[in-house]
Structure 1
Amino acid sequence: MSGDQQPKICIGFDFDAQSVWAGSFGLSTPTALSRGEFGPRTAMPRILELLEREGVSATFFTPGHTIDTWPEVCRRILADGHELGHHGYMHESPVALDEPAERAVIEKGLEAMDRNLGHRPTGYRSPAFDLSANSTRLLLEYGFVYDSSMMADDFTPYWARTGDVLHMDRAFEFGREIELVEVPCSWSLDDFPQFELVVTPPVVMAGMNEPDKVRRMWLADLEFMVERVPGGVFPLTLHPQSIGRGARIKVLEDVIARGKELGARFCTYHEAATTWRASAPPPQGAR
């Protein structure tokens, strides 16, 4: 099977640690922050051991705050051959930020990586899977190769756009494609809403699903992709503090096992983006 036609599985971890509770949910109590601490303290050794045992490379989208707080864990991620991607600084969504503020967050995350790790990321994922009108243009300007925050496809990368305009009284206005690969994501392939209980109005997330339900969902999508989407990319989004707790990690073990049975190649998001880019038509102008 050729590389382009081989199914690919991208295991992406949003390594948020404490930042998601403070930055996204506005919680700073000891119990809330301890949920984030579980990720680097307890889950990450389990996850990194599993990936090493299975010979699987993964991508860790990591806020700058996590890097500043847990630099030794982030150094191990790189030492083990995994990819480290940008994920804001304090898990702040860019949606409400003006352009100078969004630039500042991008730069602060980059500075944390450089200061602690001497590393420059090629990929970005927005906290909470959302972007501002400026985001894709800024990512291209800062030299990113790919983004993984949008959902216009399920298993096939595509070129990101800038300059889209939503008109309420006439057709949607498509902006121009740019040389930024979008590796799409999906809430249905994200462990956080499946497993976590969050009650901080207006955010209410009921989660707490049994692992078997999540396993069935993910394997069904994986099998669909392998059967129907030649060369597809299966973009799993996991959080160490969620997937690494108790029996949940067995779901990841089963996804890896089934992926190997199906002949899938495990690769980083960077590898998936550059593989797609190598044979993709060039970006088109405004449609």
Structure 2
Amino acid sequence: MKPFPVLLTFDLDGETAFEEMHPGIPYYVTQGGYGPRKGVYRIMDLLDKYSIKGTFCVVGQTAERYPEAVEEIVSRGHELACHGYTHRGYNALEPKEEKEAIIKSREILEDVYGMPIVGHRTPRWRPSVRTHKNLQELGFTWNSDYMGAEDSFWNTVEGEKSKLLEIPVAYNLDDWTFYFDWGATVAETVDVWEIEFDARYKDRSIYCLTNHPQVTGRPSRLLCLKGIIEYALKYPDVEFMKATDYVEEYWG
């Protein structure tokens, strides 16, 4: 039996997470900028402590504004994945705009990564009806937006099974949901994440955690990430994996 896969994924949005919702309001915009300026480094230091490699889904504009942060992600051995050019959901874009956003963001990241970008997560988890077809045509091997399952599955494109693997996400495994939407405490959050870990470990699906450097990169909230890492490490057959490694080893 293969080890139970744990994927730590991080959406590096920067200011783009707030610029459309709250344009020009420093309270929000500077909160987004905290991610690439401070939070992402704090998260990487924690991952280094446990020799864990993660997957960072980076917005193209954020990579342009903070190239040193993206370069550091790569230099520490983590994976880069596309997260749109802006943080606007693809369901709000025209067909041409969507494809251009995917292509442009990938080109920006590949210039830093030095190898093909094959992973993708739609901004705000809001793909359009065209997204999976676009991703398959552009050579992506995995996407991570849907919540309809605990385990990964092959997406369907135009009624046929595709070669695009969907790595499912979940509201109760997303730091934004707990801290921004629900106003939860660190203790409440880690408690739910541990319970969810137990359940998924039992059914041998996948544990894919979504964190944001502007959220979990804060000192107190980093303790929650530390807590779930140490909790998972108590199990004998757990493997922390980059998303593309998981796709190749478990679904290749």
Say yes or no: TM over 0.5: yes
Report the equivalent of 2:12. 15
Report the equivalent of 2:167. 183
- The 3 A distance-change label for structure 1 pair 57 and 223 is same
TM-score normalised by structure 1 residue count = 0.84
Structure 1 residue corresponding to 2:138, chosen from 131, 137, 142: 142
Once the two structures are TM-superposed, the CA of residue 111 in structure 1 deviates from its matched residue by 2.4
Q: Distance in 1 between matches of 2:164 and 2:108?
A: 23
Amino acid at match of 1:161: T
Structure 2 residue corresponding to 1:44, chosen from 27, 34, 40: 40
Q: Distance in 1 between matches of 2:92 and 2:121?
A: 16
The answer for unaligned runs of 5 or more in structure 2 is none
RMSD: 1.4
Q: Is the 8 A contact 1:157 1:273 kept in 2?
A: no
Amino acid at match of 1:238: N
Query: Is the counterpart of residue 194 in structure 1 residue 189 in structure 2?
Result: no
Q: Is the 8 A contact 2:74 2:112 kept in 1?
A: no
Once the two structures are TM-superposed, the CA of residue 116 in structure 1 deviates from its matched residue by 4.6
Q: Is the 8 A contact 1:133 1:162 kept in 2?
A: no
The answer for unaligned runs of 5 or more in structure 1 is 164-174, 197-204, 279-287
* Between 110-119 and 217-226, the greater mean CA deviation after superposition: 110-119
Structure 1 residue corresponding to 2:86, chosen from 86, 90, 94: 90
Structure 2 residue corresponding to 1:224, chosen from 181, 199, 212: 199
Query: Is the counterpart of residue 246 in structure 1 residue 219 in structure 2?
Result: yes
Secondary structure class of the residue paired with 2:90 = coil
Query: Is the counterpart of residue 107 in structure 1 residue 103 in structure 2?
Result: yes
Task: Provide, for residues 14-65 of structure 1, a one-character-per-residue CA deviation record: whole Å limited to 9, x for no partner.
Answer: 0111111114x24232222110111122212211110011111100000001
Q: Distance in 2 between matches of 1:104 and 1:276?
A: 31
Once the two structures are TM-superposed, the CA of residue 115 in structure 1 deviates from its matched residue by 4.1
Q: Number of aligned residue pairs: give it.
A: 251
Secondary structure class of the residue paired with 1:184 = coil
Structure 2 residue corresponding to 1:233, chosen from 206, 209, 212: 206
Q: Distance in 1 between matches of 2:147 and 2:113?
A: 31
* Between 117-126 and 257-266, the greater mean CA deviation after superposition: 117-126
Secondary structure class of the residue paired with 1:160 = strand
Moved over 6 A (4+): none
- The 3 A distance-change label for structure 1 pair 101 and 180 is same
Once the two structures are TM-superposed, the CA of residue 118 in structure 1 deviates from its matched residue by 3.8
Q: Distance in 1 between matches of 2:36 and 2:22?
A: 20
Report the equivalent of 1:259. 232
Amino acid at match of 2:174: D
Secondary structure class of the residue paired with 2:92 = coil
Percent of aligned pairs sharing the same letter: 25
Q: Is the 8 A contact 1:130 1:150 kept in 2?
A: no
**1 or 2, which has the higher helix percentage?**
2
